[in-house]
Every structure is written in structure tokens, then in C-alpha cells.
Amino acid sequence: MYLRNRLWAITFGALAFGQRYVAETLKISFYSDAPLEKISAENAKGCYSHVDFGTDSVYVRVKIRSFSFPNKLMEEHFNENYMESEKYPYAYFWGKLVAPFPYQAPGTYAVSARGLLEIHGVRREALISGVYEVLPEGRLRLTGKFFVRPADYKIEIPRLLWQKIAEEVQVQFEGVYKPT
Amino acid sequence: MDRPRLPRAVKLLRLALLSPLSLLWAQPPEEPPEPVLATFKGTRLYNFHTTEIPAPKHLEFRVAHRFGDLRQGYANFFGIDAGADVRLSFGYSVLPGLELGIERTGIGKWWDGYAKIRLLRQTAPKGIPVSVTWLSQAFLTEQKDPLRYTTFVNRLEYLHQLLIARKFSRRFSALIGLLWLHQNMALTAQAPNDWFWVMPMARFKVTARLTLIAEGALPLQEMEEALPTYQIPWSAGVEIETGGHVFQLGLTNAAGLSENQTLLTTFPILRVGFNISRIFSFQGGPEYVPKE
């Protein structure tokens, strides 16, 4: 594994130089607002992402176990009963930037990426939009939100709990990317 | 399959993404082993403790009910007409891996307090192979039996347990426990003050919310001499999870309800019952609120 990583770093490191940005910090949180219960969780430790401006591609990998809930029993249920994180430990997004991305000019811009979002082992088409800001030292700050319907990703919610888990869950992301 | 038909561009994109090339293209760092979650759903399987301890600053409130003798059949509505024996338990995790609890059992008027300490936690994918928990419990009865309990000290009993569990798969977990019960006042003139058991326990998760459970306690000493009618205590049942609650419905041959009585089951009975557990979080912390 290590060798493979090295080989790729050597082969493509030079090619991608100055065009690949890796998330230095990335926090993904979600919020479910149902009539009986509001549930929220945050993941600041288990997110990996990079953007490659050479190929206009975006990659995000989110570790499901790293979502932290104020109620740990809820966290256990989230992993065990809903996301089945032992079977599907990560959520992924592979995408292409919809429009060219002026990543070197200072300013704040809207951005979207179209591609595939995989949650709970189910892969679906998705368009994710956000705002990015070019920071000093060439860093980029990216923020945005989108909605996910658990039912679309075969996340079963028992009838008894319909009042407790929203049909649409709001997902927010906030990250700072730096050039490699 | 009710998969949506994807536009051609997306299909091509998917093909490109699934190729081995793109697998190498994504190279996040490798993750270290992590503690396994939910070896068992509850801190008790049915009558006995599992290796589980609530998260820090979480309170577990638990009510156990046991109905009358099932074998009387319809005449007694399978034991339900007899009413339920109840045990109330409160357990609070003061520190990560340290729970303190207090319980009251109707049968025998027993109070008990316990300390449960996590010694090891199984990790996955590799690392520590088992979870190990130590449990010490002190029981005090309020029974006023002038023949048996002549002094306060006579009314005390202690139970220590070493519990070793492993989650073998998403569905299957097993536990082996070593139990040592010390009774300040022996049951009979022939009975010893110290008793030992080895306790096997297992669960099999059928669906996300339904689990089969079974447990038993096998004595490590000769029981018949001291207790001629001794029965090996066992229980079997199902565990149902509904959001914040865990329900355990089961069948057991134990007449008692607190561990010290359950272990020394001496007359045949078969009773259904159920446990309800609810966990409250006092962890607090900043609640995440979405931005507009």
C-alpha cells in the first residue's frame, strides 16, 4: 500500500503540482428537523477531500464512525441501525466542477460539482453547490449545504420513528484547502 | 431493479471513476483501528451484566419485570395474573469506562450498589481482540428474618464478575464471565459462603432492531449437596430496539431477580418478563445549529 502510494506520488505528483488542493480542515455536519426531535451531528476528524484543477475533479471521503452526537446512544444507533458503518464505513463524493474555477484570483465565488454521491453503499447522481473564497497564501475556503433524503440511500426508518427523523436531512460543509 | 436511468455522460463518468486508475487517484491516509461499537445492545443481556458501559455522563434507567409461573397455564394467564416482580436500576457513567449504579429489587427486598470498570476494549479491524469489564456489586437485604439475619453484617452479599466479550461479526457477539459470590450468611449449614460460576452469553442480531439473546451460569462447584434442588439458571429471549429504548422480552427459570438470587435458583419455575432501558445524556456540549 505504502509503495503504491509512493509510486503514485512520484509519477503524478509532478504532473499535479500546483493544481491539486487538499483539505487541511474539513467539517461536515448534518441536521435533521422532525416534529418530535431535532438531531444534529458533526464530523471534523474523519473527512478527507481534494480538488484537482488540472482535471476539474473533486473527491470527498467521509468516515461515518467519526460523526459525533451529543447523545452517544444516538451515535451508536446511527452507526449500527441506520448507516451500518461496519458494512459501509465511508460516504464518498466523486465529482467534476461544473464551471471553470478561478482558484488563484482573490474573491468569493459560487461553485458547483456534479457527480456521484455514495452513502450507505448506494451511489446516486448529485449536484453539490457551495461558495468558495480565495484566502491569502493561496488557500481556499469552501462552504455550502445540500439536502439528502435518507430513503434515497436505502436508509430505513421504522414507521415508529417517522416523527423523529426528518425526510430530508440538511448537510453542511466547511473546509479550508491548501495547494500541495 | 428500480435504478434511475442515468444520462450517458454520467455513465461515462462513472466508468472512469470506477476504473482502477481512479482508485489509485484517491489516496487518503490509512485509518488506525477503532473500538468496536455495541458488542451488546444493553448493559445487561437479560438477568446478567454484559461488558457494555454507558458513554460518559450518560444515565441509564432500567426497569425489569418478571411475571408469575408460566407453567400454571391459562388459569393464571401464563403468570401475568400473578403480577410482576420489579427491579429498578440507575447507572451513571462518571468517567469514560467507569459506571456507578444503584438498584432495588422487590423480591427479597434487596438493595445493591455496583461499580463497573472497563479494562479493555476490543478494536477493529485489528488490535485488541476482546473487551474486558470488571464488575463489583454489594447487596443488602431489608428482610427481617430473625433466624437467618441476626446482625447487619449477615445481610450483606458481594458479587464480583470478570466479563470477557468479543464481537465476532456485525451479528454475533459472545461473552464468557467468571462470577464469584460471597454470602456473609451461608444459605444452609452445609452451604459454603463462596460460590463460583462460569457464565456463557451470546447474542445474534437478526435485523437492525431485533436480536436473539441467551445466557446461563454454570456452577464451578458441587451444588447438589448443599442445595439439592439447585437449577442451572438460564434465560433466552429477544431484544427489540425502538429509538431511545431497548426492550428485552425473555423467558427464564430464575425465581429471583437480582443476580445473587438468580445464581442460586433452587426451585423450578418458568417465567416470562421484560426489561426496559432508557438512556439519558447529560453530556451537553454545543448543539450544532444550521446556518441560514
Q: What is the pLDDT of residues B27-54, one digit of tens each?
A: 556 677 888 988 998 899 999 999 999 9
Query: Which chain B residues have a beta carbon less than 8 Å from that of A5?
Result: 27
pLDDT given at position A160: 64
Q: Mean pLDDT across chain B, nearest whole number?
A: 85
Among residues of chain B, what percentage have pLDDT more than 70?
86
CA distance A137 to chain B (A): 23
**Can you tell me the mean pLDDT for A75-85?**
89
Domain A21-179 fold is: Lipocalin (2.40.128)
Say yes or no for a CB contact (<8 Å) between B291 and A29. no
Say yes or no for a CB contact (<8 Å) between A70 and B25. no
Q: Count A/B contacts: CB-CB distance under 8 Å.
A: 96
Grid-cell match 425502538, residue found: B242
The amino acid that residue A168 corresponds to is E
pLDDT given at position B134: 97
Task: Provide φ and ψ at A112, rounded to 5°.
Answer: -140, 155
Contact assessment for residue B218 and residue B232, using Cβ atoms and an 8 Å cutoff: yes
**Can you tell me the mean pLDDT for A9-13?**
45
Say yes or no for a CB contact (<8 Å) between A72 and B31. no
Q: Is the pLDDT of residue A9 over 50?
A: no
pLDDT given at position A53: 85
Contact assessment for residue B193 and residue B180, using Cβ atoms and an 8 Å cutoff: no
pLDDT given at position B1: 38
pLDDT given at position B226: 86
Q: For residue range B224-279, list pLDDT tens digits in order.
A: 888 888 999 999 999 998 776 889 999 999 888 999 999 998 887 899 999 999 88
pLDDT given at position A13: 45
Q: Is the pLDDT of residue A80 over 70?
A: yes
Query: Which chain A residues have a beta carbon less than 8 Å from that of B58?
Result: 71-73
Is A11 exposed, middle or buried, given 0-12, 13-18 or 19+ CB atoms closer than 10 A?
exposed
Contact assessment for residue B76 and residue B69, using Cβ atoms and an 8 Å cutoff: yes
**Can you tell me the mean pLDDT for A128-138?**
88
Distance (Å, whole) CA B140 – CA B45:
23
pLDDT given at position B13: 55
Element spanning B252, H or E: strand B245-252
Distance (Å, whole) CA A111 – CA A143:
10
H helix runs in B175-230, sequence order: none
Task: Look up residue B17 and give its DSSP letter.
Answer: H
Distance (Å, whole) CA B137 – CA B259:
9
Higher-confidence residue of B289 and A86: namely: A86
CA angle, residues B67, B71, B75, in degrees to nearest 5 = 85
**Can you tell me the mean pLDDT for A54-67?**
92
Distance (Å, whole) CA A115 – CA A97:
9
Say yes or no for a CB contact (<8 Å) between B37 and A59. no
**Can you tell me the mean pLDDT for A53-77?**
89
Grid-cell match 481512479, residue found: B22
Q: Where are the domains of chain B?
A: 47-252+267-281
Distance (Å, whole) CA B38 – CA A146:
31
pLDDT given at position B164: 97
* Of B170, B168, B114, B166, nearest in space to B137 by CA: B114
| Whether A24 contacts chain B with CB within 8 A | no
Q: Is the pLDDT of residue A103 over 90?
A: no
A162-166, A169-173, B72-76, B150-154: which range is least confident on average? Answer: A162-166
Q: Is the pLDDT of residue A16 over 60?
A: no
Q: Is the pLDDT of residue A14 over 50?
A: no
| Whether A66 contacts chain B with CB within 8 A | no
Peptide bond into B125 cis (omega under 30): yes
| Whether A3 contacts chain B with CB within 8 A | no
| Whether A72 contacts chain B with CB within 8 A | yes
Q: How many CA atoms lie within 13 A of A39 on its CB side?
A: 26
B256: its cell numbers: 429471583
Mode of pairing for the β-strands spanning B34-35 and B123-124: antiparallel
Closest alpha carbon within chain B to A172: B290
pLDDT given at position A143: 93
Q: What is the pTM of this model?
A: 0.79
Radius of gyration of chain A (CA): 18
Contacts 24+ apart (CB under 8 A), B216-224: B217/B48, B217/B179, B217/B262, B217/B263, B219/B195, B220/B196, B221/B192, B221/B195, B221/B196
Among residues of chain A, what percentage have pLDDT more than 70?
87
Q: Which of A63, A125, A172 sits opposite B10 (nearest CB)?
A: A125
A90-94, B14-18, B136-140, B153-157: which range is least confident on average? Answer: B14-18
Q: Is the pLDDT of residue B16 over 70?
A: no
Domain B47-252+267-281 fold is: Porin (2.40.160)
Q: Is the pLDDT of residue A159 over 90?
A: no
pLDDT given at position A23: 93
Q: Which of A48, A125, A160 sits opposite B242 (nearest CB)?
A: A160
| Whether A141 contacts chain B with CB within 8 A | no
pLDDT given at position B190: 84
Contact assessment for residue B154 and residue B129, using Cβ atoms and an 8 Å cutoff: no
* Of B266, B263, B260, B264, nearest in space to B140 by CA: B260
